[in-house]
């Protein structure tokens, strides 16, 4: 491995390791099958999904604050690596939020369709 690669990896690990321990990513909620779930189960899932979405936002705020606090005298390269890492984490977390929201919405649609009177 080249020396610059080793240094870059070491810097990245020193930045991300403390953040991984300081900020907890919320657990993905369980979403019941809309075809068989009761209304109460879906309402409970809605609360769990909303808590998850809020928890992801808290996580993102936490890692952003931790990333800013970690660097005492950052070089432009340090700032660029930090920004790239944060962008990847933000994108992944927002994608996960979107997927959970869409999964919940699909199950609500299935719940509603299962309770429609047959024509």
Q: Count CB neighbours of 54 within 10 A.
A: 12
* pLDDT of 20: 47
- Mean of pLDDT values over 33-53: 97
pLDDT band, residue 69 (cuts 50/70/90): confident
Give residue-wise pLDDT tens across range 1-17.
554 544 544 545 455 54
- What is the reported pTM? 0.75
Q: Which residues contact 68 (CB under 8 A, 6 or more apart)?
A: none
Tell me the domain boundaries of the chain.
3-114
- Mean of pLDDT values over 71-93: 91
Nearest to 14 by CA among 61, 59, 71, 58: 71
């Amino acid at each position: 491995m080249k020396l610059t690669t080793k240094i870059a990896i070491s810097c990245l690990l020193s930045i991300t390791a403390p953040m991984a321990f300081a900020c907890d990513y919320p657990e993905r909620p369980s979403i019941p099958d809309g075809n068989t779930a009761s209304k109460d189960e879906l309402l409970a899932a809605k609360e769990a999904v909303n808590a998850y979405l809020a928890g992801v936002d808290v996580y993102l705020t936490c890692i952003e604050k931790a990333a800013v606090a970690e660097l005492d005298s950052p070089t432009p390269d340090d700032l660029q690596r930090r920004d790239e890492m944060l962008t990847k984490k933000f994108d992944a977390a927002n994608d996960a939020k979107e997927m959970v929201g869409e999964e919940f919405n699909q199950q609500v649609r299935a719940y509603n369709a299962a309770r429609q009177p047959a024509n």
